[in-house]
Amino acid sequence: QVQLVQSGPEVKKSGASVKLSCKASGYNFNNHYIHWVRQAPGQGPEWMGMIKPNNQRTSLAQSFQGRVTMATDTSTSAVYMELSGLAPEDTAMYYCARGATFCPSADCYTIFDSWGQGALVSVSS
């Protein structure tokens, strides 16, 4: 079965960077984008960006451009997301999620059909 296993919790100071990992198994790693979504305490999820494993093609939400770097390692089916310039408002649960494509018409769209367990990032000033 599809599994996404994330790295553990992180505690950081303002201004630092954090690098999270997400290891995929149970499917062809190269065939699906991996997305990163964060969720601040008591808030709705917020999409950060996505990466295609086989070609490292990345698309980021505008609010994270310049602060987020994503990479993949196809030899280990792992995806990495690094967030720099941390501030207390970056305290959140960070999830990786697999993108699944469906085509209801001539256009195709992506939903998130499997999620990692999440990694809590706590940032203090």
Partner 1 sequence: EIVLAQSPATLSVSPGERVTLSCRASQTVNTNLAWYQQRPGQSPRIIIYDASTRATGIPDRFSGSGSGTDFTLTIAGLQSEDFAVYYCQHYKNLPPMYTFGQGTKLEI
Choosing from 30, 43, 55, 124, the residue that interacts with partner 1 (CB under 8 A) is 43
**Counting contacts by CB under 8 A, is residue 41 touching partner 1?**
no
Residue type at position 65: Q
Contact region for partner 1 (CB under 8 A) — 16-24, 38-46, 68-76, 80-88?
38-46
**Counting contacts by CB under 8 A, is residue 27 touching partner 1?**
no
Q: Answer yes or no: are the C-beta atoms of 71 and 63 closer than 8 Å.
A: no
Q: Cα separation of 124 and 86, whole Å?
A: 9
**Counting contacts by CB under 8 A, is residue 35 touching partner 1?**
yes
Contact region for partner 1 (CB under 8 A) — 24-32, 64-72, 80-88, 116-124?
116-124
Who contacts 49 (Cβ-Cβ below 8 Å, separation ≥6)?
Answer: 35, 36, 58, 59, 60, 61, 64, 68, 70, 81
SS3 sequence, 13-37? ECCCCEEEEEEEECCCHHHCCEEEE
Choosing from 46, 67, 69, 84, the residue that interacts with partner 1 (CB under 8 A) is 46
Q: Cα separation of 75 and 64, whole Å?
A: 27
Q: Name the minimum Å distance from CB 82 to partner 1.
A: 20
Kindly list the residues in this chain that would bind partner 1 in the complex (CB under 8 A): 35, 37, 43-47, 50, 59, 61, 95, 97, 102, 104, 107-113, 115-118
